[in-house]
Structure 1
Amino acid sequence: MLFSTATLTFLRGLKRHNDRAWFEAHRPEYEAVVKQPMRHLIEELDVRLARLAPEIVGDPKRSMFRIYRDIRFSADKSPYKTHASCWFYHRDGSRAVGREAAGGGAGFYFQIAPGDAFLGGGMWMPQREALRALRAAIARDPKRFSQIATARRLVRRFGGLSEEAVLRRVPRGFAPDHPAARWLKFQSFVMGRALTDAQAVSARLPALLEDDFRLMLPLVRWINGVLGSPRPERPRPIGYASPRRPATARTHRAAAPVRRPTRHRRPRTRSSCDCGRARSILRAGPWSRAPRSRSGGGRGQRWSCGPAPPRGTPRRRSNRRSYRTLRSPERCR
């Protein structure tokens, strides 16, 4: 038993009366014309996908999306969705989808709604780490990805990758004239097409979905292959010895830790000369002519207008103030 015109009739009524009282009164109808047909479709497509792509599975309990909407952060407080949908996912990954989901991968999607039936495949809005891995794979071999995304039959049927989420500029870390600049701007790697109401309630729906899923399978397998591979480690400085990799002769030569340049603060300090005359505001920073000391710049320092003392002259310190002598660019007159 698959979808029928009664399915579309129920979804139209739910769109007009999107409230809890109406839905609870028509819950048996929802179970009969929406939920059960969706479960049958998932079971039949799971059998077909076992021959086409054994790594993609469909579970009647996990593949079907809930009818309830998440209204916590939405201005629209309608409690129910006006469509029914399902997701066929990788068996080794999570069924979760989108940026808020961890561990998800690429798969196939189907939804039914009056005038808005749709099928698609790929990975929608991956998380940051997954998106970074996909972009790195595209940059390494842009020709291979371009062949997959611009296949003639794929473009003829689906029009290519969806451009609903594309950056205006090339993301940070890639050259603007990169050979794969066009693909690096994508934030979502999905494609699909709309179905008519007659196709959505047709008895040939499983065969139609199987044919379209077969066309999108190279893209889905490429995405899952990239995400299933070991995560590339971030580049380490020379001399870094990983706990999994013993130190080599190169690491022994540069065993000293790589120190980052110290960022000195540049506070405005008003200082005065030993003669009592107020000096202009000095800056104790990396571009200051004043030699930096371990104690750093601060309030209460006194500067001498005389020549610099001989090298090796000890500094005089006290509990309250720190006295330093330096060669001033100006002289007291």
Structure 2
Amino acid sequence: MVRYAGFPAEGIEFLRKLERNNRREWFQARKEQFETQVRAPMLEFAAALNRELAAFAPLYMREPKEALYRIYRDTRFSADKTPYKTHIAALFPRIGMPRSGASGLYVGISHKGVEVAGGVYVPSAEDLRKLRALLAERHEEFRALVRKPALKKLMGELQGERLTRAPKGWPSGHPAEDLLRAKQWYFGVELEAALATTPRLLPEVAARFRAMAPAVEFLNQAFVRKKAPALFA
């Protein structure tokens, strides 16, 4: 059994204070504190999740340092110029696939809660074309995965922005029209903040990763040249 004691309370408190003091001078004076109380525990958590993924989605294991997002915000195109994120997060994409565009598994921790998500969030125009082609051909298979009781119980309904009508090139009334109108295909929930500092954090997140894994892998079939062997019974 994989064990993880939980994210340290002082790390959660650091993120809370960072939200109130989101300035370079404040953060730089406490950089070592961030490294030991926030980043190092998240690396440990990512390693623990990898050990869980080995049992049901080995193609989504990712070196912890590669899985973690940077704390620094990209403010180039944002009106919000605060320099730091106020959460720490990790993404587990499929081996050989990029962090953005393809389908992956995500977890983020802040003082407000634990966010767990999976699927496709920021596809490019070419990604959309490939995903819609896949869904048009195999929509019944995808619907069966989305309807699985464990997935619905733990992650709810499929989410994402949608067009108001069928996308260009696809006829109205197509049997997969509801799926083709989507611009994103993902699941996401926010768990209570108190969970983060307990040993329940790992099994709760891992259970949701397990529930999402078949649907996440299905979406990635849009980006592989030939259908991958079945990974999930």
TM more than 0.5: yes
RMSD value over aligned CA atoms? Answer: 1.6
Residue 177 of structure 1 pairs with residue 173 of structure 2: yes
> Deviations for 1:76-115, whole angstroms, at most 9, x for unmatched residues?
1101111110011111212x224xxxxxx21110001111
Paired residues of 1:117 and 1:194 also in contact (CA < 8 A)? yes
Q: Displacement of 1:152 after TM fit?
A: 2.8
Q: What is the CA–CA distance in structure 2 between the aligned matches of 1:69 and 1:52, rounded to whole Å?
A: 32
Q: Displacement of 1:42 after TM fit?
A: 0.9
TM-score, normalised via structure 1 length = 0.64
Q: What is the CA–CA distance in structure 1 between the aligned matches of 2:170 and 2:148, rounded to whole Å?
A: 25
Indicate the SS of the match to 2:221: helix
Residue 130 of structure 1 pairs with residue 134 of structure 2: no
Q: What is the CA–CA distance in structure 1 between the aligned matches of 2:177 and 2:162, rounded to whole Å?
A: 11
2:230: which partner in 1? none
2:203: which partner in 1? 207
Paired residue for 2:137, among 131, 136, 140? 140
Paired residues of 1:12 and 1:82 also in contact (CA < 8 A)? yes
Paired residues of 2:92 and 2:106 also in contact (CA < 8 A)? yes
Q: What is the CA–CA distance in structure 2 between the aligned matches of 1:31 and 1:141, rounded to whole Å?
A: 45
Aligned residue pairs, count: 223
> Deviations for 1:106-134, whole angstroms, at most 9, x for unmatched residues?
11100011113200111212111121111
Q: Which amino acid aligns with 1:118?
A: E
Q: What is the CA–CA distance in structure 2 between the aligned matches of 1:65 and 1:84, rounded to whole Å?
A: 7
2:77: which partner in 1? 73
Q: Displacement of 1:153 after TM fit?
A: 2.6
1:315: which partner in 2? none
Q: Displacement of 1:2 after TM fit?
A: 3.8
Output aligned runs, 1:1-333, within 5 Å: 2-94=6-98, 96-98=99-101, 105-163=102-160, 165-229=161-225
Q: Displacement of 1:181 after TM fit?
A: 1.0
Q: What is the CA–CA distance in structure 2 between the aligned matches of 1:178 and 1:17, rounded to whole Å?
A: 51
Q: What is the CA–CA distance in structure 2 between the aligned matches of 1:149 and 1:32, rounded to whole Å?
A: 39
Q: What is the CA–CA distance in structure 2 between the aligned matches of 1:21 and 1:130, rounded to whole Å?
A: 40
Paired residues of 1:110 and 1:118 also in contact (CA < 8 A)? yes
Q: Which amino acid aligns with 1:114?
A: H
Q: Which amino acid aligns with 1:106?
A: S
> Deviations for 1:207-231, whole angstroms, at most 9, x for unmatched residues?
222111111011111012221126x
Q: What is the CA–CA distance in structure 2 between the aligned matches of 1:186 and 1:12, rounded to whole Å?
A: 35
Q: What is the CA–CA distance in structure 1 between the aligned matches of 2:53 and 2:61, rounded to whole Å?
A: 7
CA change 1:41–1:29 in 2 (3 A) is: same
Q: Which amino acid aligns with 1:77?
A: K
Q: What is the CA–CA distance in structure 1 between the aligned matches of 2:204 and 2:66, rounded to whole Å?
A: 22
> Deviations for 1:36-76, whole angstroms, at most 9, x for unmatched residues?
10000111111221121111112122110000011111111
Greater fraction of residues in helix: 2
> Deviations for 1:268-297, whole angstroms, at most 9, x for unmatched residues?
xxxxxxxxxxxxxxxxxxxxxxxxxxxxxx
Q: What is the CA–CA distance in structure 2 between the aligned matches of 1:141 and 1:205, rounded to whole Å?
A: 35
* More RCO (CA 8 Å, sep 6+): 2
Q: What is the CA–CA distance in structure 2 between the aligned matches of 1:228 and 1:158, rounded to whole Å?
A: 26
Rg (Cα) greater in structure: 1
> Deviations for 1:215-251, whole angstroms, at most 9, x for unmatched residues?
1011111012221126xxxxxxxxxxxxxxxxxxxxx
Paired residues of 1:2 and 1:40 also in contact (CA < 8 A)? no
Q: What is the CA–CA distance in structure 2 between the aligned matches of 1:123 and 1:81, rounded to whole Å?
A: 21
> Deviations for 1:114-168, whole angstroms, at most 9, x for unmatched residues?
11320011121211112111111111122112112232332232221113x1111
